[in-house]
Amino acid sequence: IGKENSSSMKEFILLGLSENQGVKKIYFVVFLIFYILTVSGNLLIVLTVTSSQHLNSPMYFFLCHLSFVDVCYSSVTAPQMISGFLVENNTISFAGCIGQLFGLHFFGCTETFILTAMAYDRYVAICRPLRYPVLMSHHLCGRMVGVSWAGGFLHSALQTLPTALLPFCGPNKVPHYFCDVRPLLHLACADTRAEGLATVANSGVISLSCFLILVTSYVVILVSLRGQTLVGWHKVMSMCGSHITVVILFLGPSTFVYIRPSSDLSEDRSVALFYTLIPPMLNPLIYTLRNREVKGVMRKLCRRRVGSEN
């Protein structure tokens, strides 16, 4: 059995969030609404930023890429999970499972790096305002986003290739609603302790490092505000509040899941909702509700569209 290769496993069965048929129908409606809100909200932000000449600062450049990544990130897991609520066995092919694993880590890691770049942008805007145009040039912003995408690809390749090469000879039930490294390692017909440690060293260290960098950047920002008036504090918090909220929602749960050497898979399945589905849905609301410029441009776009239809 140990000599069987991965091609012997043709498909996996995703166990999902519940096996109760009544609960699955409720989940279908709820998560379908979540997914529709996620895609429509993030695409609206992409359309708003790309169609406006006023939203051309680095913050909106990063926000546009973040929203695009959120659409891709949620689309990796949500459609398979939602369709699985309508069938008895939610099956996914071996190739589809590996592709989902790759996409999950590719877009997830890219989002982590973009959030880190956004934190640096906020740090420069608040602590180095006079040098902001020089330090945050369009060329540098483009390179930061390019590095984020390249880093996400490299991270995902390092996670996916070793997992895809493992022998899978049964059972084929994945105790999760998507294919991830930990659940698949439990199904492999081989000693996977090295791969498990590599997951912690890769995903765990990246999540924890970026989270600590983000926290440190905001501690430095808050320390630099000593002696500022209440108006100054309010201005800074309005600039950074949205980003801090997104960081906590996304990196907090993902760091909790991936930094542990061993974990309860049922617990991981519940926590995963808070970094795969909830943040991509809330990001458009968080950034638009606290941003007058974005809301203003959106209103203009809506008026322009209504006017053209009339």
Q: How many domains does the chain have?
A: 1
Residue closest to 14 by CA, chosen among 108, 107, 104: 104
Judge whether 305 lies within some domain. Answer: no
Alpha helices in the chain (DSSP H): 21-51, 58-84, 94-127, 132-135, 138-164, 181-185, 193-199, 205-224, 230-258, 265-276, 278-289, 292-309
Structure tokens at 261: 């050497």
Residue pair 148/68 in contact (Cβ under 8 Å)? The answer is no
Judge whether 265 lies within some domain. Answer: yes
Judge whether 306 lies within some domain. Answer: no
Residue closest to 96 by CA, chosen among 88, 84, 112, 114: 84
The angle, 0 to 180 degrees and rounded to 10, between the axes of the packed helices 278-289 and 58-84 is 150
Judge whether 40 lies within some domain. Answer: yes
pLDDT tens digits, 196-243: 777 777 887 888 888 888 888 888 887 877 766 666 666 666 667 777
Question: What is the extent of the structural domain holding 108?
Answer: 11-296
pLDDT tens digits, 54-84: 778 898 899 999 999 999 999 999 999 999 9
Judge whether 303 lies within some domain. Answer: no
In the chain, what percentage of residues exceed pLDDT 90?
32
The CATH number for 66's domain is 1.20.1070.10
Structure tokens at 151: 């880093």
Judge whether 308 lies within some domain. Answer: no
Q: What is the per-residue pLDDT for 206?
A: 86
Q: What string of DSSP letters covers 91-143?
A: EEEHHHHHHHHHHHHHHHHHHHHHHHHHHHHHHHHHHSGGGHHHHT-HHHHHH
Give the highest mean pLDDT range of 3-7, 40-44, 50-54, 187-191: 40-44
Query: pLDDT: is 1 or 201 the higher one?
Result: 201
Judge whether 121 lies within some domain. Answer: yes
